[in-house]
Amino acid sequence: MRSSHKAAIVGSLFAVVTAIPVAQAADWSDTSIGYRYGTEFTEPGIDEDVQKHILSLTHASGYSLGQNFFNLDILQSDSSDPTTFGGDTGATEAYLAYRHQLHYGGVFDEPLSFGPVGDMALTTGFDLNTKNTDYSPRKRLLLVGPTLKFDLPRGFLDVSLFYAHEWNHCGLDFCGPDHDVEFDPYAQLNIVWGVPFDAGAIPLKFQGFYNYNTEKGKDAAGDDTDDEQLLRTSLMLDVGKLAWNESNQLLAGVGYEMWRNKFGNAEGPGLDTDAATFNLEWHF
Could you tell me if 74 and 53 are in contact, meaning their C-beta atoms sit under 8 angstroms apart? no
What domains sit in the chain, N to C, each tagged with a CATH number? 3-283 (2.40.230.20)
- pTM score: 0.90
Output the average pLDDT for the chain.
Answer: 92
In tens, the pLDDT along 66-105 reads 999 999 999 999 999 999 876 689 999 999 999 999 999 9
Residue 20 clears pLDDT 50, i.e. is over it? no
* pLDDT in the model for residue 175: 79
- Mean pLDDT on 49-76: 98
Q: In sequence order, what E strands does the chain have?
A: 28-41, 50-63, 66-77, 92-103, 117-131, 140-150, 156-169, 180-182, 186-199, 202-213, 228-238, 250-260, 273-283
pLDDT value of residue 24: 59
For residues 102-116, give the mean pLDDT. Answer: 98
With 50 as the cut, is the pLDDT of residue 25 above it? Answer: yes
- For residue 22, pLDDT over 70 is answered with no
CA distance 90 to 242: 37
Residues sharing a CB contact under 8 Å with residue 201, sequence separation 6 or more, in sequence order: none
How far out from the chain centre does Cα 267 lie?
Answer: 24
Place 18 in a pLDDT band, splitting at 50, 70 and 90.
very low
Identity at 62, one-letter amino acid code: G
Assess whether pLDDT exceeds 90 at residue 10: no
**86 neighbors 57 (Cβ within 8 angstroms):** no
d(CA 163, CA 146): 9
Residues with Cβ within 8 Å of residue 152, at least 6 apart in sequence: 195
Instruction: Give the span between the Cα atoms of 148 and 49, in whole angstroms.
Output: 37
